[in-house]
Structure 1
Amino acid sequence: MAAIPPVCDFGWPAVDATLPGVDGKQHSIFGQAGPNGLVVAFICNHCPYVRAVISRIVRDAEDLKAEGIGFVAINSNDAAAYPEDSFENMKLFAAAHRFGFPYLYDEDQSVARAYGAACTPDFFGLDKDMKLQYRGRLDASRKETGSPDLRRDLFEAMKQVARTGEGPRDQIASIGCSIKWKDAA
């Protein structure tokens, strides 16, 4: 079932945490920021919405470096219920898609809860002060990859954040699979 995150809460102060990465190192979320901001993307390995756009996510993360915007991806799904999202499979997924950014594992789901992540993919575009300026979609793709000429919503929004410190007022929410939460017991 598709999930849609809420609209952007401009100025919301993001949360830092240190999580294990697929490279075997511990990474601070804020440590991935560029001088002009950071994109925190909640993704996973199995979601058809993520799989449809993963090459575009990798491309946009690389292109945003030139704008002084860092990028980090986090998987918070319950790997016991969704084995394809296990840490070992995260390593394979990141290698297969040539991630140029850290892919971190939020095993206890505390980071996803702190951010209010709703779906995969769910993008949080932060300014240089780590305050929320964008909570929208990558582009108009859904479960299928859209045409090559689609407007790059995330890229254009973060380019604006890099240059002005503010995100666009009109944002279209991402859509994707809901975060696979562990049973609350």
Structure 2
Amino acid sequence: MAVSPPVCDFGARASDFSLPNPDGRIFSLHELAGARGTLVMFICNHCPYVQAIIDRVQRDAGELQAYGIGVVAISANDIVSYPQDAPEHMKTLAQRLGFTFPYLYDETQAVARAYGAECTPDFFGYNADLELQYRGRLDSSGRSAGAPDARRELFEAMIQIAETGQGPREQVPSMGCSIKWKC
């Protein structure tokens, strides 16, 4: 069942974290934060909503990083119920697509809970002071990719945040599969 997260809680502070990538290297929010803003994405391997946009996520992440925006993806799904989201499969996906950002595993799901993540994909766009300014969708894609010329809502919002410190007041929530919480 599709889930949409709540609207942006402007100014909410980013929760710090220290999480491993599939190789076991630990990354913290503060080492990943960009000088002009930070994008924290909750994604996973199996979700059709993520699969529909993952190439666009990679494209936008690379351009945002070149603009001084830090980017990180986190998977928090229960891998007992969804083994395709396990770290070894995360590593394969990241290598196949050439991720330019760390793809981290939140085994305890504490980081996903601290952020209030609800679905995959769920995007959190922060300004340089790590204050939330965007909690919307990537673009008009759903379970299948939107038009090739779809407006790049997340990308445009993050550039605005980098330039002004403020996100757009009009935001369309992301939609995706619910986070697969442990019982």
TM bucket, shorter chain: over 0.9
The match for 1:153 is 153
CA distance in 2, matches of 1:23, 1:36: 28
The match for 1:43 is 43
* Structure 2 gaps, min length 5: none
- Partner amino acid, structure 2, of 1:59: R
Worse-matched range after superposition: 6-15 or 91-100:
91-100
1:15-164 matches, within 5 Å, as 15-164=15-164
1:5 aligns with 2:1: no
* Structure 1 gaps, min length 5: none
CA distance in 2, matches of 1:23, 1:156: 32
Q: Does the Cα contact within 8 Å between 1:22 and 1:102 map onto a contact in 2?
A: no
CA distance in 1, matches of 2:37, 2:23: 23
Q: Which runs of 4+ in 1 moved over 2 A?
A: none
CA distance in 2, matches of 1:72, 1:138: 15
Shift of the alpha carbon at 1:31?
A: 1.4
CA distance in 1, matches of 2:153, 2:48: 19
Deviation track 1:134-185 (CA, whole Å, cap 9, x = no partner) reads 00000000011111100000000000000000000000000000000000xx
TM-score, length of structure 1 as denominator length: 0.97
CA distance in 1, matches of 2:163, 2:94: 30
Shift of the alpha carbon at 1:29?
A: 2.1
Deviation track 1:33-66 (CA, whole Å, cap 9, x = no partner) reads 1111100000000000000000000000001023
The match for 1:168 is 168
CA distance in 1, matches of 2:30, 2:43: 18
CA distance in 2, matches of 1:160, 1:6: 21
TM-align CA RMSD: 0.8
- Partner amino acid, structure 2, of 1:53: I
- Percent identity between the aligned chains? 61
CA distance in 2, matches of 1:136, 1:71: 16
TM-score, length of structure 2 as denominator length: 0.98
Shift of the alpha carbon at 1:69?
A: 0.7
CA distance in 1, matches of 2:55, 2:143: 14
Worse-matched range after superposition: 21-30 or 109-118:
21-30
Shift of the alpha carbon at 1:82?
A: 0.3
SS of residue matched to 2:160: helix
